[in-house]
Structure 1
Amino acid sequence: MKRRSLITVASAATVMTLGGVGYAAHKRNSNPYYRGPVSDHFDGLRFFGPEQSPDKDFSDIVRWRMTAKREDWPAAAPSPFAADVPPERFEGLRVVLIGHASYLFQVAGKNILVDPVFAKRASPVRFAGPKRANPPGIAFDNLPPIDVVLITHNHYDHLDGPTMARLWQVHQPLIITPLGNDAILRGYDETMHVETRDWGESIDLGDGVTVHLTPANHWSARGLNDRRMALWCAFVLTTPRGVHYHVGDTGLGSGALFREIRARFGPPRLATLPIGAYEPRWFMQPQHMNPADAVEAFRLLGAEQALGHHWGTFKLTDEGIERPAEALAAALGAAGLSQNVFLPLRPGQVWIA
């Protein structure tokens, strides 16, 4: 019993980062974030996806932690790339990884942040939970003027409330996120300008750039009793530099999501896809792709180029820090693809179209 208690306490902040667990969700019968009509992916209380997997419960968490074969990470793993100092504006397409799933996209003169996390821990608390293994690939004070922030979902490794409040105070960006997440964001600063949209809806940013919200095989939660009460998404950017498809988190599922993106928007010029936080597979497969899954998604999309993220900054799951990059190289080789068509980005690394 003592061992189980220690495992549970040590795991709590990591579990919260991944969004809590489903065992307590049934205790809530009202949605604190969103009220809207029933749809093909909202039952009046919770959202669900086209291939929604059953919610994990507390026994699954205990099973994972009791049987885990976790590879150690180094206390610090600095990126080989120096922190980037982006130009104020860029007329082409310039992409830099800040770390984990945080990016700066500069396209057609617009500066767009995605899932910005600058915190030292991806956690609801400052004293525990997954700690950064490397500093942000752009220092906060070196950010260019930020026009738009895109938030894919509300897990703590994607929605960093204090960072969002600071961004709002300094840059006053337009914030775009799926249904329900506005209530969470305004809890950090009630003056934030947040635009929420449903899957299939879009926002025109001007200058030929439009943001489209599309489904992902994932879920949401900020705590133990709000599972799937705010929507999650992937984003498609249609731009003068081509189509850019960005996924924060998703499982591969049947591959239908990626076929539908290609059918609707055509083969993307660029796909930014997650490649980490995937072990053990029995637990993570429905919600997180591994590198082989990501290569299959790249193939289904018919994308010209892919960049990999969601690895190497926060230890969320069992695989070692370099395993995603190694497994990506192996998966590309097995598929007969060049290593250059799908790069595992590191903080501060820049890609320019």
Structure 2
Amino acid sequence: MKRRTLVKYLALPALMAAWAAGYARARPGENPYYQGPVSDHFDGVRFFTPGQPQDKSVLDLMRWQLGGGRESWPDSFPSPFRDKPPARVEGLRVVLVGHASVLIQAAGLNILVDPVFAERASPVSFAGPKRVNPPGIAFDDLPPIDAVLVTHNHYDHLDTAAIARLWERHRPRIVAPLGNGAIIKAVDPGIEVVTADWDGTVALSEGVSVRLLPANHWSARWTSDRRMALWCAYLLTTPAGAIYHVGDTGYGDGAIFRDVRARFGPPRLAILPIGAYEPRWFMRPQHMNPEEAVRVMQETGAEQALGHHWGTFRLTNEGVEAPAQALAAALKAAGIAPERFRALRPGEVWEPVQA
């Protein structure tokens, strides 16, 4: 038996136990992150997405882990790009740091979304998904960071050590959905975090604001806190146009995406996840695939889309290059020019074409 296969099978009982512990229903009042009134997406202990499937069972997890179909990944998948951003940009400039970490420079502001600089997307340093490429922007090459947006608390999106370093160096305005402030402040109580519910709006400057919007996803940091902190997408309002950024989401019935267009009009730019989608029977409720991402681009009416959440951390069954290949096929099938939806690599920059 190959070493990686042996490690997987030896670790599986612990993984099953952890999943089962998190699946157990908590009693009222047990949420350690957030206490607030019941709403249409909060039952008093756990958050949920109305009308969408919630947790998979431990048997579902076993079926996935033991079911095969997992494509191999290289130990290294280096990006051909490396960026050292300018200090400020008056127009719009977007660069993928890696996986789901994105630097948005707009109207003189520098905004980092889901900054993860850790070597592993994991609660421990010795196990869990490991980077196959370094961050496309070195931490020391970051420009002054004015704002940090956190979409949810999974380890491939919330790196609390990176947040603490950013706070120490830049004192950014940190925005996160309900409950995530407690997780961040546990690292350093002095960190200031603005938390908000879906549809909450936070001003980042006189001309730039951000609104939290629903996503079809979930949250957890360990074994017993599943869905005890909220998750979200963001809509940035800037002089260069609206930017719709989704950290993680399933497509669901598509209503949350059609609602973006109906309420706010077509965004100038949509930054959408395109990876971690196989097997579909397991991942569909929480991660959309490239074909669904193209559908989201169409339904929001986005002028431009950029793909992230692929090619850095191996989380699911598809191969390292499969998301980019599937995106190209989906765009061709939809009759959309490939430059309108680019699958970014770490360090790769997108800027609007000047007329």
Q: Give me the TM-score of the superposition, normalised by structure 1.
A: 0.95
Q: Is the counterpart of residue 331 in structure 1 residue 335 in structure 2? A: no
Q: Which residue matches 2:80?
A: 80
Q: Which residue matches 2:54?
A: 54
Q: Is the counterpart of residue 140 in structure 1 residue 134 in structure 2? A: no
* Offset at residue 186 of structure 1 (A): 0.6
Q: Is the 8 A contact 2:48 2:54 kept in 1?
A: no
* Offset at residue 8 of structure 1 (A): 5.5
Amino acid at match of 1:52: Q
Amino acid at match of 2:52: Q
* CA 1:15–1:284: 2 relative to 1, 3 Å: farther
Separation in 1 of the partners of 2:262 and 2:272? 18
Q: Is the 8 A contact 2:270 2:302 kept in 1?
A: yes
Q: Any idea what SS the aligned residue of 2:257 has? A: helix
Q: Which residue matches 1:67?
A: 67
Q: Any idea what SS the aligned residue of 2:350 has? A: strand
Q: Is the 8 A contact 1:151 1:177 kept in 2?
A: yes
Q: Is the counterpart of residue 214 in structure 1 residue 247 in structure 2? A: no
Q: Which shifted more, 59-68 or 116-125?
A: 59-68
Q: Which residue matches 1:295?
A: 294
Q: Which residue matches 2:41?
A: 41
Amino acid at match of 1:55: D
Separation in 2 of the partners of 1:139 and 1:268? 29
* Offset at residue 189 of structure 1 (A): 1.1
Q: Which residue matches 1:187?
A: 186
Q: Which shifted more, 44-53 or 107-116?
A: 44-53
Cα deviations by residue, 1:128-187 (Å, 9 ceiling, x for unpaired): 110100000000000000010000000000001111111111111111000000010011
Q: Which residue matches 2:22?
A: 24
Separation in 1 of the partners of 2:13 and 2:87? 40
Q: How does 1:81-96 map to 2 (within 5 A)?
A: 81=81, 83-96=82-95
Q: Is the 8 A contact 2:277 2:318 kept in 1?
A: yes
Q: Is the 8 A contact 1:244 1:270 kept in 2?
A: yes
Q: Is the 8 A contact 1:245 1:268 kept in 2?
A: yes
* CA 1:321–1:14: 2 relative to 1, 3 Å: farther
Cα deviations by residue, 1:84-143 (Å, 9 ceiling, x for unpaired): 000101000100000000000000000000000000111110001101000000000000
Separation in 2 of the partners of 1:279 and 1:43? 30
Q: Any idea what SS the aligned residue of 2:112 has? A: strand
* Offset at residue 264 of structure 1 (A): 1.1
Separation in 1 of the partners of 2:185 and 2:38? 24
Amino acid at match of 2:130: K
Q: Which residue matches 1:158?
A: 157
Amino acid at match of 2:280: R
* Offset at residue 50 of structure 1 (A): 2.3
Q: Which residue matches 1:246?
A: 245
Separation in 2 of the partners of 1:14 and 1:279? 19
* Offset at residue 284 of structure 1 (A): 0.2
Q: Which residue matches 1:201?
A: 200
Amino acid at match of 1:74: P
Q: How does 1:317-328 map to 2 (within 5 A)?
A: 317-328=316-327
Amino acid at match of 2:50: P
- Structure 1: gaps (5+ residues): none
* Offset at residue 45 of structure 1 (A): 0.6
* CA 1:57–1:5: 2 relative to 1, 3 Å: farther
Cα deviations by residue, 1:214-239 (Å, 9 ceiling, x for unpaired): 00000001111111100000000011
* CA 1:147–1:280: 2 relative to 1, 3 Å: same
Cα deviations by residue, 1:298-349 (Å, 9 ceiling, x for unpaired): 1101100000000000000000000000000000001111111100000000
Q: Is the 8 A contact 1:13 1:130 kept in 2?
A: no
**C-alpha root-mean-square deviation of aligned residues, in Å?**
1.9
Q: Is the 8 A contact 1:244 1:269 kept in 2?
A: yes
Q: Percent identity?
A: 63
Q: Which residue matches 1:105?
A: 104
Amino acid at match of 2:188: D
Q: Is the 8 A contact 1:93 1:352 kept in 2?
A: yes
Q: Is the counterpart of residue 315 in structure 1 residue 314 in structure 2? A: yes
Separation in 2 of the partners of 1:285 and 1:345? 22
* CA 1:169–1:324: 2 relative to 1, 3 Å: same
Separation in 2 of the partners of 1:224 and 1:10? 15
Q: Any idea what SS the aligned residue of 2:43 has? A: coil
Q: Is the 8 A contact 1:219 1:232 kept in 2?
A: yes
Q: Is the 8 A contact 2:261 2:267 kept in 1?
A: yes
Q: Any idea what SS the aligned residue of 2:60 has? A: helix
* Offset at residue 70 of structure 1 (A): 0.8
Q: Is the 8 A contact 2:23 2:57 kept in 1?
A: no
Separation in 1 of the partners of 2:251 and 2:308? 15
Q: Is the 8 A contact 2:16 2:58 kept in 1?
A: no
Amino acid at match of 1:100: H
Q: Any idea what SS the aligned residue of 1:206 has? A: coil
Q: Any idea what SS the aligned residue of 2:204 has? A: strand
Amino acid at match of 1:26: A
Q: Which residue matches 1:351?
A: 350
Separation in 2 of the partners of 1:15 and 1:262? 41
Q: Any idea what SS the aligned residue of 1:24 has? A: helix
Amino acid at match of 1:28: A
* Offset at residue 43 of structure 1 (A): 0.8
* Offset at residue 15 of structure 1 (A): 9.0
